Amino acid sequence: MAAGSFEGQYVWSPAADDRALARACMDVRAGRYLSAHEVLKETRDDFEVRAHRSLVLASVAADSDLAERWLAEEPGAEAALLWARVAMLRALRTADAGDRRQGALARIARSACDRAAKELPEDPTPWVAQLALTRLDRPRDPAPQGLLTAPAGPWYLFAHILRLDAWHREAHHRFLSYFFTRYGGSSSASWDVAAFLSQRAPATSPLRLLPLVALVEDYDPTALLADRTWEQPQWITTATSIHRNWFPRVADYRFTPVLDLSYLAHALFMAKREFEAREVFTAMGPFAARMPWSAFGDPAEQLSRARRSCGLPVPHGS
């Protein structure tokens, strides 16, 4: 489907235009794991895509016994990775629901991550799954120099991941989320960490988006002039700099980075930079992510409002 064309509805699938991943997700829903093995095995030298694909597949497999069955029938690095991701998601979902089984599921998840890490030691993905679990047990390693609030957190585990892949996208997002208020952190800590991590990253890196993620996370609709925050000079500069330095690189991506583009389009729209926002929306085509739009209301309605403001078509009836 051509960018800007909406003959149907928004495509909310996290697989987006990764057709092999989309087919693998269909097979997983049908109880088959061969294509999942294929799309994961081919990413052994591309950790960003491996992390993304394994997480999307796990989100589909988490409500079935496919991961356990695959590991029992054909054990290997890919089966172990999917099992680690599934176990991670189950533990986090159970904890978010306040279920008393969360401790047991967290222990299962950590064991699964350990197994996956041993299968393919150079792969940071199992360690990233471990990092996601740290918001449950809240490790308090001392922060390195350079942070104003010096927030304690899982710094040692994060440092280990960075030794494997210095700019791993999901690792940075998981680490930042540890400091979110809803997980026991604070606004000041999340702001500090987001700024620290983004400033370390190259200007052309999607990690420059981390402050925009923290900004959405801290959004309070009851605060005075809350929606005008993005119009402040520092946030206009942040968004336009990302548009200038990172956005042109998206054309070289194997698959459209829909979530990162969504955060950038949202920030530009809120900053009233409709021309730049229109370019980002056009690059996304029909693909959509619920964040950051869901922080402001119904995601489809919010996305359509932004697209209309930029003079772009929306699905019929939106």
pLDDT digits over 22-80, tens only?
A: 999 999 999 999 999 999 999 999 999 999 999 999 999 999 999 999 999 999 999 99
Distances, alpha carbon 31 to alpha carbons 21, 149, 219, in Å: 15, 48, 40
Q: Which DSSP symbol is given to 142?
A: P
Tokens of 43: 């990413």
Share of the chain above pLDDT 90, in %: 93
**CB atoms inside a 10 Å sphere around CB 61:** 25
Give 262-278 pLDDT, tens digit per residue. 999 999 999 999 999 99
Residue 280, phi-psi category: left (phi > 0), alpha (psi -120 to 50), beta (remainder): alpha
pLDDT band at 4 (very low <50, low <70, confident <90, very high): very low
Q: Is-contact 175 135, C-beta < 8 A?
A: no
pLDDT band at 1 (very low <50, low <70, confident <90, very high): very low
Please give the average per-residue pLDDT across 186-211, as a whole number: 97
Question: How would you write 38-91 as a 3-class SS string?
Answer: HHHHCCCCCHHHHHHHHHHHHHHHCCCCHHHHHHHHCCCHHHHHHHHHHHHHHH
Q: Phi first, then psi: what are they for 293, rounded to 5°? A: -60, -35
Helix axes 258-270, 274-284, angle to 10 degrees: 160
Nearest to 185 by CA among 227, 217, 230, 209: 217
pLDDT of residue 316: 75
**Helix ranges (DSSP H) in the chain:** 19-29, 34-41, 47-61, 66-73, 77-96, 102-119, 125-137, 155-164, 169-178, 187-200, 210-217, 233-245, 258-270, 274-284, 299-309
Share of the chain above pLDDT 70, in %: 97
Tokens of 93: 């979902």
Locate tokens 């995601």: which residue? 299
Instruction: Identify the sign of the CA torsion 255, 272, 276, 167.
Output: negative
Nearest to 27 by CA among 62, 55, 66: 66
Q: Is the pLDDT of residue 317 over 90?
A: no
pTM above 0.85, yes or no: yes
**Residues 6 or more apart in contact with residue 206 via CB below 8 angstroms:** 169, 246, 257, 260
Q: What is the mean pLDDT of the chain?
A: 95
Give 114-159 pLDDT, tens digit per residue. 999 999 999 999 999 999 999 999 999 999 999 999 999 999 999 9
Tokens of 289: 């992510």
**CB atoms inside a 10 Å sphere around CB 30:** 9
